Chains A and B, each alone.
Chain A
Amino acid sequence: MFLKDKINSAIDKISQQILKYNEHRKLFQNLFRSVKNSLNPSEFPVSFGFKTTDKSFAVNCAETNIEGLKIAGVDGGIIHRSLNFFDIALIRAVGVLFYYVPNSNPIVRYFPEENPFPDIVTSIEPLNQNEIESLISIWRMQKEIKCAISLVKEDLPDIIILDGSVLPYIDYKMINQSEFLVHQYLSLKTLYRQLYSLCQKHHTALCGIVKDSRSAILTEKMSHLLPHLSKLKEFEKLLEIDYRPIIRQLRDTDLLFQVLDQNERTFEFYLSNFNEKFDKNLPDFDIHCFYLKTAEYDTPLRIEFPILFSNPQDLSQSISALVISVSKYNPEYGLPSVIIEADARARLQEVDADILIDEIASKVGYSSFSLQKRRARSPFAKR
């Protein structure tokens, strides 16, 4: 077989897979769309993992008047380089607060400032690749949460939106071999607790927005539940086919893109509690989650939030209303304006790391080339 034939064959195969996937997705989308108002998640058996008080699969959320409100967003930027002897990272986090005053453009404040100089952090710990990646994530989250804490302390926003999860998603098993990493992780958790407590004290809503979620928690739970929903007419057809492998392919946002209408969210559901086994005596927080469609032609946002005050249902509605109000402008890109601005401010350029490494190299007497690992300095790679 010639190379061209091989390529064509591979392309055909991929195309077929996509078409088939689309077909399956469509099937489930149509199905859930047709039953979204008749399903009552609060009645789902607890054994299937749904903890919710919402009585409908899809809940309509009205936008709210944000005049007089302070809406904040926090994002971080990181550039990491693994060198021969150590790891180095440039990290910064920027908090943005939009204060919506009547009949005027929002007043904008930045934390700690508009263009903060990034922290330069290094580690000479003997860590493996997974541990290094975990460490870099911990450093970035530490920076972001510290920024969020200072923002809440200084300006008391009505809501603070984190770019990403509201939980420190680190696989503890991945880091528990390194005392250094465990210490860093515990420090991070302490910072999160501080932030939660602070928001609780000041009645500031807190949420994390995962813009490109690959989670399948909802579809997975629904797949287990489907056989028990066969009394619904719409599901009869589904039971005739082996739907389980199909639903396993689906991510939550794939399913929900066509199921939810604009300004509609899924029922909120319990995701996890904050504490782990070793946190027994520390204050704990329940974390809930829902998906919210803020733009007609964009996939829904995954929104996670700790229950700091009020109740999950009301908090979901309040957070949804605020998020919609600052995300509704672009039908193809439904991300909150505060997160767009924070992301732009926090983003770091690769060239910043290059300059840093060049400077270090000039001081230690190595060429920056020899300082870097082989994979980064192939003599034939385009630079």
Chain B
Amino acid sequence: MKGKSIGTVIVAEETPNPSEFSFVLTKSEDDFRLQKGMYVTIQSEEGEIIASVLNVFKTNRYFSSPSAVKAYETSGKTLASIFPVDSWEYIIAQAKPLGIFTEIGIKRLLYPVSPGDTVYVPDAGTLSKFLGLDPENGLLLGKIAHHDLEVKVNLTRFLQKHAALLAISGAGKSYTVSIILEELLSRSQEQGRVAVILFDVHGEYKGLSDDSSEFKDKIEFFPGAFIQFATHKLTAGQFASFQPQMSAVQVRELYRILGKLYVTNTKQGKSYLIKDIIEKIENDENINQRSKEALIGWFYTLESTHLFGQLEKPSLEEDIKAGKLLIVDLSDFTSLRKKQLIMSYFLTQLFDLRKKNKIPPTTIIVEEAHQFAPEASISMGLSRPIIETIAREGRKFFLSLVLISQRPVKLSTTALSQCNTHVIMRIVNPYDLDFIGRSSEGIDRETMDSITTLGIGEAIIVGNAVNHPIFVSVRKRKTSALQTMDLEESAKAYDTD
């Protein structure tokens, strides 16, 4: 159903054509403020043609000749005091048809709209359906810029094929993540709830589980100091992923050693530690001396991380629950390698548990994803293989990734390309922009150009979650502010202490 009429299609340079048309605003600016990025519609026999406004500009014959303007205004009077210049101002918009919304679905527009066609503002229902939103059960991320329409993205379309949130520092990434978390935690059993695990690199999300938070009962915050791996749950392959230099022969020997420990310990209901593995390697007579020394050296290195124990903490099987959020605090760790080890361990376990259906469908949120799945060599990113595996295969087991990064160009291409929905906030680095342009499906030149101009809290959603790129003003949070301080506050706090 069409809304109010705002303009009329005009003939401009080689337009209207199937991919562009121009229209003149027939309402006064006081009645209707036409803005770039708005959606408009034109009635056709097949259905409603929906278009987005690519650009808006004003014309005025009195100001079209610089020399005339200068000549008149040199007299000391403004043109407005000599001529009725206001009545010559016209607002022209260039619009790009996105498709025709017909009774049987959305069709591509293969013919031009007609000069003289009336341009309307689409009503919220039509626009919502056209953009592929889910007003009933979707996640409310904000409002479509310039329209009074809530952006409710369908859970499956948004997360099943993974999502990426890309923006420069300070653009509102963490804020947007907290909105996504609030929405996931607000879902009822009937709507379908997923479990969420968030790796909090900077300790920003602790506030979400404050006593004042309406979600406090649904959030478990796990401090980094207590993180522990269940050593006996790790396979030779997983140990090898911690030490990418390990040769195939060494992995095979380790496999054998762990097999022995399984028989002597695990099978008897007893766990074991790194020192038990070291002891077994030392006492084994079949491993050649060089491999033995290398293996022992690497295990001593692993033990020095103090991450390996008897029990898994947090216990994924116990703490990953539908409709609940587990925040794993990594902010105390300075060693990137250690953080990667933690990521690698827990993601491997999560993947395994989901495959065995021992935990509910889960969404994994990875902050600073370029640190955990860097495009650089695997030795620089121990957790990259498992992130890439989940990115490729997680969809089948309903294990979703939300990768968050401020340097998409440094993020694994494999992982990013598997994220079918991109939430892009302000980005200015030309390399990152270029990379986004190449890796984001359905992003066009006009949308790309808008990325650098996005304000704080504004985002573009492209990809699987929506039928067309949409500009979103991210909604206000329900939970308290994230635990961040500005420089001044931090300096005061330090001095006071």
Seen from chain A, the residues whose Cβ lies within 8 Å of a Cβ on chain B are: 98, 105-106, 108, 114, 328-333, 337, 340-341, 344
Q: Kindly state the separation between the CA atoms of A262 and B200 in the bound complex, as whole angstroms.
A: 78
**CB-based contact B87/A330 at 8 Å:** no
Candidate in B68, B81, B88 with the most chain A CB atoms within 10 angstroms: B81
**CB-based contact B75/A105 at 8 Å:** no
**CB-based contact B61/A331 at 8 Å:** no
The interface residues of chain A lying within 8 Å CB-to-CB of B81 are 105-106
Query: Which residues of B in the span 54-91 have a Cβ within 8 Å of any Cβ on A?
Result: 61, 68, 71-72, 74-75, 77, 80-84, 87-88
**CB-based contact A344/B88 at 8 Å:** yes
Q: Kindly state the separation between the CA atoms of A114 and B88 in the bound complex, as whole angstroms.
A: 10
**CB-based contact B83/A331 at 8 Å:** no
Q: Which 6 A-B pairs have the closest CB atoms?
A: A108-B84, A329-B75, A330-B71, A329-B72, A330-B72, A105-B81
**CB-based contact B75/A330 at 8 Å:** yes
Q: Kindly state the separation between the CA atoms of A108 and B86 in the bound complex, as whole angstroms.
A: 11
**CB-based contact A340/B71 at 8 Å:** no
The interface residues of chain A lying within 8 Å CB-to-CB of B80 are 105
Partner of A329, one of B77, B87, B88: B77
Q: Kindly state the separation between the CA atoms of A350 and B387 in the bound complex, as whole angstroms.
A: 66
**CB-based contact A341/B84 at 8 Å:** yes
The interface residues of chain B lying within 8 Å CB-to-CB of A98 are 84
Q: Kindly state the separation between the CA atoms of A333 and B88 in the bound complex, as whole angstroms.
A: 20
**CB-based contact A106/B71 at 8 Å:** no
Chain A nearest CB from B202 CB (Å) reads: 57
Q: Kindly state the separation between the CA atoms of A328 and B77 in the bound complex, as whole angstroms.
A: 11
Besides the contacts A98-B84, A329-B75, what 4 more A-B pairs have beta carbons closer than 8 Å?
A: A329-B71, A332-B71, A333-B71, A337-B83
| A114 to B, closest residue via Cβ | B87
**CB-based contact B84/A106 at 8 Å:** yes
**CB-based contact B61/A344 at 8 Å:** yes
| A329 to B, closest residue via Cβ | B75
Contact-size category for B: 10 to 19
**CB-based contact B71/A331 at 8 Å:** yes
**CB-based contact B87/A108 at 8 Å:** yes
Chain A nearest CB from B117 CB (Å) reads: 16
Query: Which residues of B in the span 79-136 have a Cβ within 8 Å of any Cβ on A?
Result: 80-84, 87-88
The interface residues of chain B lying within 8 Å CB-to-CB of A332 are 71
| B77 to A, closest residue via Cβ | A329
Contact with A along B126-157 (1 / 0, CB 8 A): 00000000000000000000000000000000
| A96 to B, closest residue via Cβ | B84
**CB-based contact B83/A328 at 8 Å:** no
Cross-chain pairs A/B with CB under 8 angstroms, 18 sampled: A105-B81, A105-B84, A106-B84, A108-B84, A108-B87, A114-B87, A328-B75, A329-B71, A329-B75, A329-B77, A330-B68, A330-B71, A330-B72, A332-B71, A333-B71, A340-B83, A341-B83, A344-B61
Q: Kindly state the separation between the CA atoms of A341 and B88 in the bound complex, as whole angstroms.
A: 10
The interface residues of chain B lying within 8 Å CB-to-CB of A340 are 83
Chain B nearest CB from A351 CB (Å) reads: 8
| B88 to A, closest residue via Cβ | A344
The interface residues of chain A lying within 8 Å CB-to-CB of B61 are 344
Q: Kindly state the separation between the CA atoms of A329 and B69 in the bound complex, as whole angstroms.
A: 10
Q: Kindly state the separation between the CA atoms of A237 and B120 in the bound complex, as whole angstroms.
A: 76
Candidate in B61, B77, B82 with the most chain A CB atoms within 10 angstroms: B82
| B85 to A, closest residue via Cβ | A105
**CB-based contact B82/A337 at 8 Å:** yes
The interface residues of chain A lying within 8 Å CB-to-CB of B82 are 329, 337
The interface residues of chain A lying within 8 Å CB-to-CB of B71 are 329-333
Candidate in A328, A332, A341 with the most chain B CB atoms within 10 angstroms: A341
Q: Kindly state the separation between the CA atoms of A329 and B80 in the bound complex, as whole angstroms.
A: 12
Q: Kindly state the separation between the CA atoms of A10 and B80 in the bound complex, as whole angstroms.
A: 47
Q: Kindly state the separation between the CA atoms of A144 and B80 in the bound complex, as whole angstroms.
A: 26
The interface residues of chain A lying within 8 Å CB-to-CB of B72 are 329-330
Candidate in A108, A328, A330, A333 with the most chain B CB atoms within 10 angstroms: A330
The interface residues of chain B lying within 8 Å CB-to-CB of A344 are 61, 88
Q: A328-B75, A344-B61 are known contacts. Are A333 and B68 too (CB-CB below 8 A)?
A: yes
The interface residues of chain B lying within 8 Å CB-to-CB of A331 are 71, 74
The interface residues of chain B lying within 8 Å CB-to-CB of A337 are 82-83
Q: Kindly state the separation between the CA atoms of A165 and B129 in the bound complex, as whole angstroms.
A: 63
Q: Kindly state the separation between the CA atoms of A108 and B83 in the bound complex, as whole angstroms.
A: 9
Candidate in A105, A114, A341 with the most chain B CB atoms within 10 angstroms: A105
Candidate in A329, A331, A333, A337 with the most chain B CB atoms within 10 angstroms: A329
The interface residues of chain B lying within 8 Å CB-to-CB of A106 are 81, 84
Chain A nearest CB from B72 CB (Å) reads: 5
| A330 to B, closest residue via Cβ | B71
Query: Which residues of B in the span 14-70 have a Cβ within 8 Å of any Cβ on A?
Result: 61, 68
Q: Kindly state the separation between the CA atoms of A337 and B81 in the bound complex, as whole angstroms.
A: 10
The interface residues of chain A lying within 8 Å CB-to-CB of B83 are 337, 340-341
Chain A nearest CB from B15 CB (Å) reads: 15
Q: Kindly state the separation between the CA atoms of A333 and B84 in the bound complex, as whole angstroms.
A: 18
Chain B nearest CB from A34 CB (Å) reads: 30
Chain B nearest CB from A115 CB (Å) reads: 10
Chain A nearest CB from B427 CB (Å) reads: 44
The interface residues of chain A lying within 8 Å CB-to-CB of B88 are 344
The interface residues of chain A lying within 8 Å CB-to-CB of B68 are 330, 333
The interface residues of chain A lying within 8 Å CB-to-CB of B75 are 328-330
Q: Kindly state the separation between the CA atoms of A234 and B140 in the bound complex, as whole angstroms.
A: 92
Q: Kindly state the separation between the CA atoms of A310 and B63 in the bound complex, as whole angstroms.
A: 40
The interface residues of chain B lying within 8 Å CB-to-CB of A114 are 87
Q: Kindly state the separation between the CA atoms of A337 and B77 in the bound complex, as whole angstroms.
A: 13
Q: Kindly state the separation between the CA atoms of A337 and B78 in the bound complex, as whole angstroms.
A: 13
Chain B nearest CB from A327 CB (Å) reads: 10
Chain A nearest CB from B73 CB (Å) reads: 8
Q: Kindly state the separation between the CA atoms of A201 and B169 in the bound complex, as whole angstroms.
A: 77
Contact with A along B434-464 (1 / 0, CB 8 A): 0000000000000000000000000000000
| B75 to A, closest residue via Cβ | A329
Q: Kindly state the separation between the CA atoms of A145 and B209 in the bound complex, as whole angstroms.
A: 82
The interface residues of chain A lying within 8 Å CB-to-CB of B87 are 108, 114
| A331 to B, closest residue via Cβ | B71
Q: Kindly state the separation between the CA atoms of A328 and B72 in the bound complex, as whole angstroms.
A: 9
The interface residues of chain B lying within 8 Å CB-to-CB of A328 are 75
Chain A nearest CB from B325 CB (Å) reads: 61
Q: Kindly state the separation between the CA atoms of A328 and B82 in the bound complex, as whole angstroms.
A: 10
Q: Kindly state the separation between the CA atoms of A340 and B62 in the bound complex, as whole angstroms.
A: 10
Chain B nearest CB from A162 CB (Å) reads: 19
Chain A nearest CB from B343 CB (Å) reads: 66
Candidate in B72, B75, B83 with the most chain A CB atoms within 10 angstroms: B83
